[in-house]
Structure 1
Amino acid sequence: MKMLKLLVPTLLLLCTAGCRRDDDAAVRALARRIIPEQEARFRFEHLADTGDSTDRFELESRGGRIIIRGNNSNSIAVGLNHYLKNYCLTTVSWSDCNPVEMPAVLPKIEGTVRGTARVKDRFFLNYCTFGYSMPWWGWKEWERFIDWMALQGVTMPLAITGQEAVWQHVWTRLGLTDEEVRAYFTGPAHLPWHRMSNIDRWQGPLPQEWIDGQAELQQRIVARERELDMTPVLPAFAGHVPQELQRLYPEAHITRVSYWGGFADEYRCSFLDPMDPLFDKIQRAFLEEQTRLFGTDHIYGADPFNEIDAPTWDPETLGGMSRHIYESMAAVDPEAVWLQMGWLFYADPTHWTQENIRAFLRSVPQDRLLMLDYFCEFTEIWKQTERFYGQPYLWCYLGNFGSNTMLAGNFRTVAERMEEAFSEGGDNLRGVGSTLEGFGVNQPMYEFVLDKVWETGLSDNEWIDRLADRRTGHRDATARALWRTLCDSVYTLPSQTGHSTLTNAHPSLEGNWHWTTKPTVGYRFGTLWHLWEQLLTVESDRDTYRFDVVNIGRQVLGDSFLTLRDRFTEAYKRHDLPAMEHEAALMREVLADLDRLTACHAEFSLGRWLDAARSFGSDEASKRYYETNARTLISVWGDSYHLTDYANRTWAGMVSTYYAPRWELFIERVTEAARAGRPFDQKAFDREIRDFECRWADASSPLALPAEGDALATARELAVKYKPLFDTLP
């Protein structure tokens, strides 16, 4: 029996190795997950090794089957996706709530189709994504998302889930109590900003059930990513420590970092000088424990000064810090490569002068520091720093802040800048990536960025046509023209922090009150309205089409609210009460209909977000804890008004229970002031509405959420209803 137990794993290993020579087992399993009824019609083969490390794929039809070849599993997955998108007109969403819709008969490929990668590495994710979009994911959601990344050719996913289990081990070994460690962590949705040294303790202590569950989840995540030839980017120690560590190591050089996000002093983080001997000890303990739990692929993310001040702005000292951070990694893992966000250079150009950037980058050995040029659709740091002073870098598209639901993305500019980077970016341009803060509503923009990595012979205009075809499931001239106009006239501006329609803003008579809710668009409102009208004439039963109907309609209704608010304000200034009441009634109707329309697709659901958060609880008390944390992030965010509504999103239920009540109270208070002949007191209203916002974030009573409706029928009804208004939009 003992011999049999030893023999079975060996036979399985030999079988797996043999299968991979003839048929890629990892991509076979991926296909079985996303297209189980058609999976047997595909064959996944490895291309012969020619000594060229360039990623590539081939497609052809043979003997009634679709043959997909690639130089590795990742390239084969890209080949599969190329076939699904361009032949089957099928979209595989990053969200598991969206179906994968396939034709009854697999289309034949004429000849051999080839694709070749133009860069080596493809990065995806951002620390913030793990808070704004992913904190309540289980394996079901992660499994679909990893499949999506493989299909898009992502080779370097950020993999920071579960690190609190590692830190718990490290800090307790260094002498802190378990209670101190768990209190040092924030609540789950705010962990990204704890990991980036921005806040400690907020909505802690972190439950042990969360820490243990996330460690188990991370083991599954990195195992699947490695199966699909991805290189997970795990974290490393960057200097953030519990303040209590000073008690145990009084000689250690620990300082408090600068204030962040309006949080009170009790939530400020502490930073250990990288030159301190304790730094090396912590780095070793962390990397060894992390490797024990999750393995290693030798690329480590470390970001010591993200949106906080460095202890000094002396270039020589900054260089010494970066050199020692790298050396502390290399002492544990001689193959270590440090991955660093370039966001800090964009966010604080006053302190990050060219002298300081040069000192920081050049103090790390060549090719051992990999930079992410974080927000290239807006500002390309590679052009300002002599291509990062020779260190390898990736051109990155950000595209979304806070999981905001706003049509955003400068399509043509992104295309031009990527082509320029490919031709002028230098030999140290290693790849392309996306550093989205949240998933939002603009998935095609990310597909476009990752598709441009591959030379397949498709022009940008042909790519748009194919996108239109797969959104509707068939070739349609109206849909193609519509998507061309969207890319040329609507998708013209990059995403902004706090991007939203005015519906989601803290109410005010003029402007948008705060920087966290910006209703900026780069198109005329009437343009999008007429595109929505055209979309509603297209015939399609695809879920992707229904999503577009809801998504564009959501934006149209949201855009119109700005006009109504401005008309309401003008009527108030004229002391015209009947006109105020008329505009107020329209404002109420738009908010109610916006809630009804977004209820027609699962992606726009507050209930889905809250139910997922509550699912992590083991009893009612813990369920409420997770729900409060989830509510807080998307409303008040923190402990002051500074970040309120930054993570706003137009979701069914969010509109009816949070945004609409705020506007209703605003209408009441402004109308009361007008009737009394006194000025509206915005400051008094702000205090009143802040109380409502905090109560909403902390509420535990079930919300009355709208029922799911028919997307097309609802949209057509609303288009008719609001046509007189929409036709007056500028």
Structure 2
Amino acid sequence: IRNTGRNNVSISANSGVAAAWALHRYLTGYCSAMVSWSGTQVALPPDRLPMLPSGQLTLESQDVYTVMPNVVTFSYSYVWWRFSDWERHIDWMALHGVNLAYALTGQERVMAGAMSHFGLTEADLVQYFPGPAFLAWGRMGNLKAWGGPLSKAWCDSQVDLQRRILDRMAALGITSVLQGFSGMVPDSVYFVNPNDPMFTNLSAAVIKENVKVFGHVTHHYAMDPFNENLPSNGVLQSWFLNNAADFWTINRAKAFFEPINMTHLLVMELWGETVNLAQQLDGFFGHNFVWTALHNFGGNNAMYGQLQNFGQHGPFGLRRQFPGNMLGTGIQPEGIGQNEVVYELVMEFNWRAEQPESLAEWIRDYARRRYGRPDRNLLDAWEGLLSTVYNTPHTGMLTPVLVLRPSLSLSENANYNVTLVESAWRLLIATNQSDNAMLNYDQVDLTRQMLQIRFHQYYTVLKQAAHTENATAVEASGATMLGLLDRMEKLLQTDERFLLQRLINSAKSFAASPSEIGLYEFNIRNQLTCWGPGPNTIQDYAARMYSGLLAGYYRPRWALFLHQLATAIRQ
């Protein structure tokens, strides 16, 4: 990046992604700008561009790869997207330096084509592919058919969309990762032994079909052979090693990795900010790997993060420890569109050699870039959030009590000073900039967080009243809790990004028949609530605080529980 005249700045780079990345560094570092999921703030001076004080800046990535997203993001966040959504998102990835990105849309057409060469029919595949909101877990072998069937119209639309996605990625120099074959087959086949030549033939057929449908776009294929499953007698996520840690001892993990050619595998160190499997497994026994931050589960939209934790559990020590095979960093949240500050920090790790020396100063600069106007209240508010909701010691899911199935044994594990959060909230809402989209979003989000905190406080009072069998106190605290849910519902109606109906409308726009309209709405509602067929569901795993879900699901559920609780005590 260099000054080339009184009002000119030029960028020279060795790829489209590198040029976009450099542009982003210029915008954030010299123009106090931000391009985020919730909006864009690029208020350049009207008369001249900001110049580089030293005349030029040379940027060089610390890594080979910057990676995004998670394979399940395609079901939790991307599933109902049109190309306009994808185009903006791909631009966001390029600006943040992402040069290796999963591109899994439309893969069911590829799988169907590959399997047709082995005598499998359309009838076989109807009971194989799940519905749109559950495709990610069908691809990884966790479930079949649930939420389906997939129509020809759906598959056609997704193939067309994928072609446009791949074209846009290629134009910017982003390498795509397509879906490989991990061993999941329709029931009519029953089982394919990995030692059987048929397994290799199916794997080759999937790659050939990808080339046939989408062209020669990549040499990277995602495979998750044991995702949340124990083994029966690429690009690989390490989640299976963490999910079944008791089974995957050091020796078993080593036996899995060692036979694989070192040049044929790239491991995604999923949840690297917490688990740090690379260190436990000696850098995956020499295989190339990428450190990524997971952070989010199921697309939950509560405010939380561990920004202070990245210094100890970030990629910096791994780079020094495994300089030959630690090849990158990235983010792999299960859902996007939440807690943007976490990802903005992590996406700087591709050029940072260490965590920012002062996170307090970093987050104040984040606020300046986010809102575009220096305001002491806003800077102080974000510093308060850094020491509270974004310094959460809890390492797993942090799901609010209000979206969980009611009982008297729930816990939120927040462990931060709620008084300081309230102080930050008051500072944030004291600023009135109605034309500032990202500030308006943050004001809604933090107010929602305060209502969430208040709900948990009254839930604690409710538990105490229930244990002392004080029905009057149970009814009083319960009435307050329901009132808080009503207030949150009205609040979230003010921003379309918190509307369940917006998601439903997007899904319905893909429907080619009346039956598909109902099926797609069922996909959304089931994923966000029961998640899958009963009784073995992961209920509320993908819970969201959305207008529509609060009024139509969470509040009625709590109202029923509170009524039954008070009645039981009185009896």
Both structures adopt the same fold (TM-score exceeding 0.5): yes
* CA-to-aligned-CA distance 1:32-81 (integer Å, 9 cap, x gap): xxxxxxxxxxxxxxxxxxxxxxxxxx243624233222222111101111
Q: Spell out the pairing of 1:156-195 with structure 2 (5 A cutoff).
A: 156-195=100-139
User: 1:244: how far off?
Assistant: 0.6
Which SS does the other structure have where 1:357 is aligned? helix
User: 1:93: how far off?
Assistant: 2.3
Report if the CA contact (8 A) 1:273-1:279 is conserved: yes
In structure 2, the partner of 1:557 is 451
In structure 1, the partner of 2:11 is 68
Q: Measured at CA, do residues 527 and 664 of structure 1 come closer, stay the same or move farther in structure 2, by a change above 3 Å?
A: same
- Taking the aligned partners of 1:498 and 1:390, their CA distance within structure 2 comes to 31
- Taking the aligned partners of 1:61 and 1:475, their CA distance within structure 2 comes to 29
1:429 and 2:349 equivalent?
Answer: no
Which SS does the other structure have where 1:394 is aligned? strand
1:504 and 2:399 equivalent?
Answer: no
2:328 aligned partner, one-letter code: G
Report if the CA contact (8 A) 1:60-1:113 is conserved: no
- Taking the aligned partners of 1:450 and 1:498, their CA distance within structure 2 comes to 21
1:283 aligned partner, one-letter code: S
1:658 and 2:557 equivalent?
Answer: no
1:476 aligned partner, one-letter code: D
1:208 and 2:152 equivalent?
Answer: yes
User: 1:507: how far off?
Assistant: 1.0
- Taking the aligned partners of 1:61 and 1:554, their CA distance within structure 2 comes to 47
- Taking the aligned partners of 2:550 and 2:9, their CA distance within structure 1 comes to 46
- Taking the aligned partners of 2:490 and 2:548, their CA distance within structure 1 comes to 9
In structure 1, the partner of 2:51 is 109
Bigger radius of gyration: 1
User: 1:477: how far off?
Assistant: 2.7
1:415 aligned partner, one-letter code: G
- Taking the aligned partners of 2:395 and 2:272, their CA distance within structure 1 comes to 13
- Taking the aligned partners of 1:185 and 1:603, their CA distance within structure 2 comes to 29
Which SS does the other structure have where 1:193 is aligned? helix
- Unpaired runs of 5+ residues, structure 2, are none
Among 254, 257, 261, the residue aligned to 1:361: 257
Which SS does the other structure have where 2:136 is aligned? helix
In structure 1, the partner of 2:195 is 275
- Taking the aligned partners of 2:188 and 2:321, their CA distance within structure 1 comes to 49
Which SS does the other structure have where 1:232 is aligned? strand
Q: Spell out the pairing of 1:711-722 with structure 2 (5 A cutoff).
A: none
- Taking the aligned partners of 1:494 and 1:176, their CA distance within structure 2 comes to 50
* CA-to-aligned-CA distance 1:216-244 (integer Å, 9 cap, x gap): 11111111111111110112112111121
User: 1:655: how far off?
Assistant: 0.8
Q: 1 or 2 for the larger relative contact order (CA 8 Å, sep ≥6)?
A: 2
User: 1:99: how far off?
Assistant: 4.9
User: 1:172: how far off?
Assistant: 2.3
* CA-to-aligned-CA distance 1:433-457 (integer Å, 9 cap, x gap): 2121111411121121111211499
- Taking the aligned partners of 1:618 and 1:589, their CA distance within structure 2 comes to 40
* CA-to-aligned-CA distance 1:376-429 (integer Å, 9 cap, x gap): 111101111111111111111001000001222210211343322233333211
Number of matched residues? 562
* CA-to-aligned-CA distance 1:91-132 (integer Å, 9 cap, x gap): 22236xx35553452641232233221111011011111111
Q: Measured at CA, do residues 373 and 129 of structure 1 come closer, stay the same or move farther in structure 2, by a change above 3 Å?
A: same
1:519 and 2:412 equivalent?
Answer: yes
In structure 2, the partner of 1:46 is none
1:465 and 2:382 equivalent?
Answer: no
1:73 aligned partner, one-letter code: G
* CA-to-aligned-CA distance 1:144-170 (integer Å, 9 cap, x gap): 110110011001101111110011112
In structure 1, the partner of 2:338 is 441
Percent identity between the two aligned chains: 30
Report if the CA contact (8 A) 2:62-2:353 is conserved: no
User: 1:497: how far off?
Assistant: 5.3
- Taking the aligned partners of 2:468 and 2:337, their CA distance within structure 1 comes to 39
In structure 2, the partner of 1:88 is 31
- Taking the aligned partners of 2:393 and 2:152, their CA distance within structure 1 comes to 40
Among 432, 446, 461, the residue aligned to 1:567: 461
1:123 and 2:67 equivalent?
Answer: yes
Q: Measured at CA, do residues 640 and 448 of structure 1 come closer, stay the same or move farther in structure 2, by a change above 3 Å?
A: same
1:519 aligned partner, one-letter code: E
Q: Spell out the pairing of 1:57-456 with structure 2 (5 A cutoff).
A: 58-60=1-3, 62-94=5-37, 98-103=39-44, 105=46, 107-110=49-52, 111-246=55-190, 254=191, 272-294=192-214, 295-312=216-233, 338-416=234-312, 417-455=314-352
- Taking the aligned partners of 1:539 and 1:387, their CA distance within structure 2 comes to 50
User: 1:490: how far off?
Assistant: 2.5
1:548 aligned partner, one-letter code: D
Which SS does the other structure have where 1:224 is aligned? helix
Q: Measured at CA, do residues 237 and 227 of structure 1 come closer, stay the same or move farther in structure 2, by a change above 3 Å?
A: same
- Taking the aligned partners of 2:384 and 2:414, their CA distance within structure 1 comes to 15
Which SS does the other structure have where 1:451 is aligned? coil
Q: Measured at CA, do residues 596 and 650 of structure 1 come closer, stay the same or move farther in structure 2, by a change above 3 Å?
A: same
- Taking the aligned partners of 1:188 and 1:166, their CA distance within structure 2 comes to 15
- Taking the aligned partners of 1:635 and 1:287, their CA distance within structure 2 comes to 35
* CA-to-aligned-CA distance 1:556-607 (integer Å, 9 cap, x gap): 1101111212212323344434333321221121101111222222221111
1:486 and 2:379 equivalent?
Answer: no
Report if the CA contact (8 A) 2:462-2:477 is conserved: yes
Report if the CA contact (8 A) 2:166-2:217 is conserved: no
Per mean C-alpha deviation after superposition, the further-off stretch among 143-152 and 632-641 is 632-641
- Taking the aligned partners of 1:495 and 1:122, their CA distance within structure 2 comes to 26
Report if the CA contact (8 A) 1:401-1:496 is conserved: no
